[in-house]
C-alpha cells in the first residue's frame, strides 16, 4: 500500500504523487523524521488530501480474506497456547450505567485470579471501567500489576465540549488510570472535519501524560471500510498508541473485516515509520472461537510481532468465562458448565 | 442423478421432471426421444436422510459421519447420522437454552403440548407401526398395539403435568409459627439413554416424564433401532414443543455417553439404555454431582416390557428437586 513517505529531497509523497507545495510543510528539513507519515501541518485540506489519497478498501476482498482466515483450525497444544495468549490480552470490561464500586471490585478480583480453581491461568491485560470508578479499580488492583484502563471523553457518544472531555481524561489519569480509551467525534469525521478529530485526539493525548491512549473509532457508525481505513490512519497520525474498533454500545462492532482493515493500517504505518501501534477489537467477541480467529487475523495480517498484550487487546466481558471453560475442557477433558464460573 | 440432456422445454418444470425420470430409466430412449410414449414413467424412490434433532432443527452430524441401519432380518433400511461428542455438546447447549422458557411455562400449557404430541402421533400410527415392524420384526398387530400404547403414554404424562406438584409437594407441618411448603422443581438438562430394544414405547416412557415436569432432554437413541427416534423427533418438531426441549442424538452411546455423563452442565442422567456402561457413566456423573437414574429391571427388554400398567411418578421423581419455603405467619 502506498503510504506517504518523505523523500531525501524533503518532498512528501503520498500514494506516489508529490504533494503540492501548498500542502507541503515548509519547515520540514532534512533529515527525515522517523514519524513522518503525513502532513505535519494538520490543516483540513492536507488531512483530506492524505486520507482520501489512501487506496480504497476492496470490500469483497476484505470479507473473503477474513472469512478465509476464520476457517483456520487451531487445536490441542496450539489451542491451549492461543487461549492463554487471549486470556492475557483480555481487557476485562464493565461499562454499564449500573456499575457499582462492589461490581468493579469483584471484576478486579476476577482479573487478578480468573479461575480460583486453577492458579496457572494467566492474568488479564487490564481492567476497563468508567472514569469515575478508576480510583476504586486502582485500589482493588494494587499489587497485582494489572493496569486500569478508563474510558473517557464523554464515552460512548463523544458528544460533549472539548473542555469536558479533557477534564474527564485528566481526572481519570490523576486517579491512576494507566490507559485511556477515548472516542473520536464521529459526527465531525463523517462531516469531513478531519482537523477537529485530529486536534481532539492530540489534545487528549496531551492530557493523558504518561498514560497510553487508545482511540475508539466506533466502526459501526463509520459506514464503510474506506472510512475505517481513513479513521485508523487519522488516529495513528494524531498519536494514538492503540486503535480500538468500538465502544461495545453499537452493533455491528468488531467484525473480522473491520479488524483486518485496522490491522493493515498499523502494519503499513510500521512499514513506513518503524513504529508499532496496537489494535483492540471490542464488542461482540464472546467465544473462544471468536478470540482465536482474531489472533489468526493478527498473525496473518500484522504479523507475529503484534501477538503480545502490548500491541493487541480484546475488549470483552463475557469472553473471559468462555476462555476459562475452554481451558478447563482442554486440561480436564470434560465439558465444564457455566454454573461453575462467576457471573458477569 | 445427472442427466446429460437438457430438457428442450425449459419453461415447464413438469416436462423436466418427466424427462429426468425417463433418462434415468432408459438413456437410449431419451436420446432418441421416441420410445416411452404412453407408458407412465415409474417414480424414483425418495430416500430419506435421517439426521439429528438439535435445537428444533434437523442438522447432520458435525462430524459428517453416518452409518447404515438394517432391519431385524438384515436388510438395509437407511443411513443415520453418527453423532460425535461435539454434537452432544451442542445438544446440551441447546437444551440448556431451552430450559428457562420450558420450565417457566405453565403446567397446563406443558400438558397441552404433550397432548398435542399424542394427537400428531395418533395421526401417524401407520407409519410408526411399519417402522416398528421393520426395526424389530414385530407382527402387525403387535406393532399397532405398541404405537397405541405410546400414544396413550403421551396422553398419560400430559395429564400428569399439572398434578405431580400436588402429589410430590405440599404443606409441611412444622413446630413453629411458620408456614412451610415444599414444591418439586425440574433439575434442568437430563441426558436420557433410551432403551435399546424398545425404540418407540420405551423411548416415550423415558422421555415423556422428563419433559412433562419441565426438564429439557438430550436423548441418546437406541443404537440397534434408531430410526423410530428420529421419526418421533419429527412428531415433536410439529407439535408446538419449543426447539431444544428435546434433542435426539443417534450414534454410538459408548462414544457419546462418557462426554454427556461428565458434562458439568448436565444435571441428571437416565441410564435406562446404557447397558454395561451404566456403572462407568454413574462414576463419571459423580464428579459433577449429577443425579442418576439407574437402569431398572426390564430396561433391556423389548417394547412389550414397557406395556405394563401405570408407571406413576416413579420416572418423574428422580428428575425433580424439592424446594422448601419457610414463611413466617402472624399469630
pLDDT tens figures, B133-148: 999 999 999 999 999 9
Q: Among A15-29, A208-222, A276-290, whose mean pLDDT is lowest?
A: A15-29
Q: How far apart are CA B51 and CA B65, in angstroms?
A: 10
Nearest CB to B262; choose among A335, A339, A340: A335
Q: Which of A149, A87, A128 is nearest to A295 (CA)?
A: A87
- How close is the nearest chain A Cα to the Cα of B89, in Å? 8
Mean pLDDT over all residues of chain A?
89
**How does pLDDT run across B261-282, given as a tens digit for each residue?**
999 999 999 999 999 999 999 9
The DSSP line for B178-244 is: EEEEEEEEE-SEEEEE--SS-TTHHHHHHHHHHHHTT-EEEEE--SSS-HHHHHHHHHHHTTTPPTT
Q: Among A121-125, A207-211, B17-21, B238-242, whose mean pLDDT is lowest?
A: B17-21
**Residue A343 pLDDT level (bands cut at 50, 70, 90):** confident
Question: Does A15 score more than 60 pLDDT?
Answer: no
Cross-chain Cβ contact B265/A334 below 8 Å: no
- How close is the nearest chain A Cα to the Cα of B264, in Å? 5
Q: How far apart are CA A308 and CA B239, in angstroms?
A: 52
pLDDT score for A106: 96
Residue in B closest to A328 by C-alpha: B264
Q: How far apart are CA A129 and CA B109, in angstroms?
A: 44
Is residue A70 a contact partner of residue A256, using CB atoms and an 8 Å limit? yes
Checking DSSP bridges between strand A5-6 and strand A12-14, what pairing results, if any? Answer: antiparallel
Q: Is A334 on the interface with B (CB under 8 A)?
A: yes
pLDDT score for B37: 65
Any bridge partners for residue B321, and if so which?
Answer: B185
Q: Is A336 on the interface with B (CB under 8 A)?
A: yes
Residue A196 designated active-site: no
Question: Does A314 score more than 60 pLDDT?
Answer: yes
Mapping DSSP onto H, E and C, the string for B89-114 reads HHHHHHHHHHHHHHHHCCHHHHHHHH
Q: How far apart are CA B182 and CA B180, in angstroms?
A: 7
Nearest CB to B262; choose among A334, A339, A340: A334
Share of chain A above pLDDT 90, in %: 85
Q: Is A338 on the interface with B (CB under 8 A)?
A: yes
Helices (H), chain A: 44-53, 59-69, 76-89, 101-112, 134-141, 162-174, 186-190, 194-208, 225-237, 256-273, 288-297, 319-332
**How does pLDDT run across A225-248, given as a tens digit for each residue?**
999 999 999 999 999 999 999 999
Going from N- to C-terminal start, the domains of chain A cover 5-19+31-72+130-307
- How close is the nearest chain A Cα to the Cα of B15, in Å? 39
| B107-123 vs B140-160: helix crossing angle, rounded to 10 | 170
pTM of the model: 0.84
Size of chain A in residues: 344
**Residue A41 pLDDT level (bands cut at 50, 70, 90):** low
pLDDT score for B17: 42
Buried b or exposed e, range B192-209, using 16+ CB within 10 angstroms: bbbbbbbbbbbbbbbbbb
What residues in B contact A334, CB-CB < 8 Å?
A: 259, 262-264, 284, 287-288
Cross-chain Cβ contact A334/B92 below 8 Å: no
pLDDT < 70 stretches in chain B = 1-37, 331
**Residue A40 pLDDT level (bands cut at 50, 70, 90):** low
Q: Is A75 on the interface with B (CB under 8 A)?
A: no
Is residue A44 a contact partner of residue A195, using CB atoms and an 8 Å limit? yes
pLDDT score for B329: 86
User: What is the CATH class of A5-19+31-72+130-307?
Assistant: alpha beta
Is residue A286 a contact partner of residue A323, using CB atoms and an 8 Å limit? no
Probe site for chain A from B96, B265, B289 (most A CB atoms < 10 A): B265
What residues in B contact A338, CB-CB < 8 Å?
A: 265
Nearest CB to A336; choose among B259, B264, B284: B264
Catalytic residue among A91, A181, A268, A322: A181
Cross-chain Cβ contact A335/B264 below 8 Å: yes
Q: How far apart are CA A204 and CA B233, in angstroms?
A: 60
pLDDT score for B36: 54
Q: How far apart are CA A316 and CA A86, in angstroms?
A: 11
- How close is the nearest chain A Cα to the Cα of B214, in Å? 19
- How close is the nearest chain B Cα to the Cα of A216, in Å? 34
Who contacts B281 (Cβ-Cβ below 8 Å, separation ≥6)? B193, B257, B258, B261, B269, B271, B274, B292
pLDDT score for B298: 82
A44's grid cell? 483540513
**How does pLDDT run across A165-184, given as a tens digit for each residue?**
999 999 999 999 999 999 99
What residues in B contact A329, CB-CB < 8 Å?
A: none
pLDDT score for B46: 87
Cross-chain Cβ contact B92/A335 below 8 Å: yes
Question: Does A128 score more than 70 pLDDT?
Answer: yes
Is residue B275 a contact partner of residue B295, using CB atoms and an 8 Å limit? yes
**How does pLDDT run across B93-116, given as a tens digit for each residue?**
999 999 999 999 999 999 999 999
pLDDT score for A25: 44
pLDDT score for A229: 96
Residue A91 designated active-site: no
pLDDT score for A39: 66
Is residue B180 a contact partner of residue B172, using CB atoms and an 8 Å limit? yes
Question: Does A139 score more than 90 pLDDT?
Answer: yes
Amino acid at each position: 500500500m502506498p503510504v506517504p513517505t518523505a523523500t531525501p529531497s524533503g518532498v512528501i509523497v503520498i500514494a506516489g504523487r508529490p504533494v503540492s507545495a501548498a500542502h507541503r510543510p515548509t519547515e520540514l528539513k532534512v533529515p527525515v523524521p522517523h514519524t513522518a507519515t503525513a502532513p505535519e501541518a494538520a490543516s483540513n485540506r492536507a488531512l483530506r488530501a492524505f486520507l482520501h489519497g489512501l487506496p480504497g478498501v476492496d470490500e469483497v476482498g476484505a470479507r473473503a480474506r477474513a472469512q478465509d482466515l476464520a476457517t483456520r483450525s487451531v487445536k490441542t497444544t496450539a489451542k491451549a497456547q492461543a487461549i492463554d495468549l487471549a486470556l492475557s490480552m483480555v481487557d476485562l470490561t464493565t461499562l454499564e450505567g449500573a456499575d457499582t464500586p462492589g461490581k468493579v471490585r469483584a471484576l478486579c478480583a476476577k482479573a487478578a485470579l480468573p479461575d480460583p480453581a486453577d492458579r496457572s491461568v494467566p492474568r488479564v491485560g487490564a481492567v476497563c471501567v468508567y472514569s469515575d470508578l478508576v480510583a476504586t479499580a486502582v485500589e482493588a488492583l494494587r499489587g497485582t500489576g494489572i493496569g486500569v484502563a478508563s474510558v473517557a471523553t464523554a464515552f460512548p457518544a463523544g458528544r460533549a465540549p472539548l473542555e469536558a472531555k479533557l477534564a474527564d481524561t485528566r481526572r481519570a489519569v490523576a486517579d491512576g488510570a494507566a490507559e485511556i480509551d477515548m472516542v473520536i467525534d464521529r459526527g465531525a469525521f463523517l462531516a469531513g472535519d478531519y482537523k477537529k478529530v485530529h486536534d481532539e485526539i492530540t489534545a487528549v493525548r496531551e492530557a493523558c501524560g504518561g498514560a497510553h491512549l487508545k482511540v475508539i473509532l466506533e466502526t459501526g457508525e463509520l459506514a464503510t471500510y474506506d472510512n475505517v481505513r481513513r479513521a485508523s490512519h487519522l488516529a495513528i497520525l494524531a498519536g494514538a498508541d492503540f486503535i480500538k474498533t468500538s465502544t461495545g454500545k453499537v452493533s455491528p462492532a468488531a467484525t473480522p473485516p473491520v479488524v483486518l482493515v485496522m490491522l493493515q493500517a498499523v502494519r503499513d504505518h510500521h512499514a513506513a515509520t518503524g513504529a508499532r501501534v496496537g489494535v483492540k477489537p471490542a464488542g461482540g467477541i464472546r467465544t473462544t472461537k471468536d478470540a482465536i480467529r482474531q489472533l489468526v487475523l493478527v498473525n496473518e495480517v500484522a504479523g507475529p510481532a503484534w501477538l503480545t498484550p502490548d500491541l493487541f487487546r480484546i475488549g470483552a466481558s463475557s469472553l473471559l468465562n468462555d476462555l476459562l471453560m475452554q481451558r478447563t475442557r482442554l486440561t480436564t477433558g470434560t465439558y465444564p458448565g457455566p454454573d461453575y464460573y462467576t457471573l458477569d | 442423478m445427472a442427466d446429460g440432456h437438457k430438457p428442450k422445454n425449459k419453461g415447464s418444470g413438469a416436462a423436466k421432471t418427466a424427462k429426468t425420470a425417463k433418462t434415468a430409466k432408459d438413456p437410449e430412449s431419451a436420446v432418441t426421444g421416441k420410445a416411452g410414449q404412453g407408458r407412465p414413467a415409474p417414480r424414483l424412490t425418495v430416500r430419506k436422510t435421517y439426521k439429528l434433532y438439535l435445537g428444533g432443527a434437523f442438522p447432520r452430524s458435525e462430524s459428517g459421519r453416518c452409518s447404515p441401519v438394517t432391519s431385524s432380518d438384515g436388510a438395509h433400511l437407511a443411513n443415520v447420522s453418527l453423532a460425535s461428542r461435539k454434537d452432544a455438546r451442542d445438544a446440551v447447549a441447546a437444551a440448556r437454552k431451552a430450559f428457562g422458557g420450558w420450565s417457566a411455562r405453565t403446567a397446563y400449557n406443558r400438558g397441552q403440548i404433550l397432548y398435542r404430541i399424542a394427537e400428531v402421533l395418533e395421526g401417524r400410527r401407520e407409519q410408526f407401526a411399519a417402522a416398528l415392524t421393520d426395526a424389530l420384526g414385530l407382527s402387525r398387530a403387535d406393532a399397532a398395539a405398541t404405537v397405541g400404547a405410546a400414544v396413550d403414554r403421551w396422553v398419560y404424562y400430559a395429564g400428569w403435568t399439572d398434578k405431580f406438584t400436588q402429589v410430590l409437594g405440599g404443606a409441611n407441618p412444622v413446630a413453629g409459627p411458620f408456614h412451610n411448603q415444599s414444591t418439586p422443581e425440574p433439575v434442568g438438562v437430563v441426558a436420557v439413554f433410551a432403551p435399546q430394544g424398545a425404540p418407540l414405547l420405551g423411548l416415550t416412557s423415558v422421555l415423556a416424564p422428563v419433559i412433562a415436569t419441565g426438564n429439557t432432554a438430550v436423548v441418546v437413541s437406541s443404537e440397534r433401532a434408531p430410526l423410530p427416534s428420529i421419526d418421533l423427533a419429527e412428531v415433536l418438531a410439529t407439535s408446538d414443543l419449543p426447539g431444544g426441549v428435546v434433542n435426539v442424538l443417534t450414534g454410538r452411546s459408548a462414544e457419546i455417553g462418557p462426554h454427556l455423563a461428565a458434562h458439568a452442565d448436565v444435571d441428571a442422567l437416565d441410564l435406562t439404555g446404557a447397558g454395561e456402561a451404566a456403572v462407568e457413566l454413574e462414576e463419571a456423573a459423580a464428579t459433577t454431582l449429577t443425579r442418576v437414574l439407574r437402569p431398572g429391571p426390564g430396561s433391556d427388554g423389548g417394547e412389550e416390557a414397557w406395556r405394563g400398567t401405570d408407571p406413576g411418578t416413579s420416572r418423574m421423581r428422580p428428575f425433580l428437586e424439592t424446594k422448601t419455603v419457610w414463611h413466617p405467619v402472624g399469630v
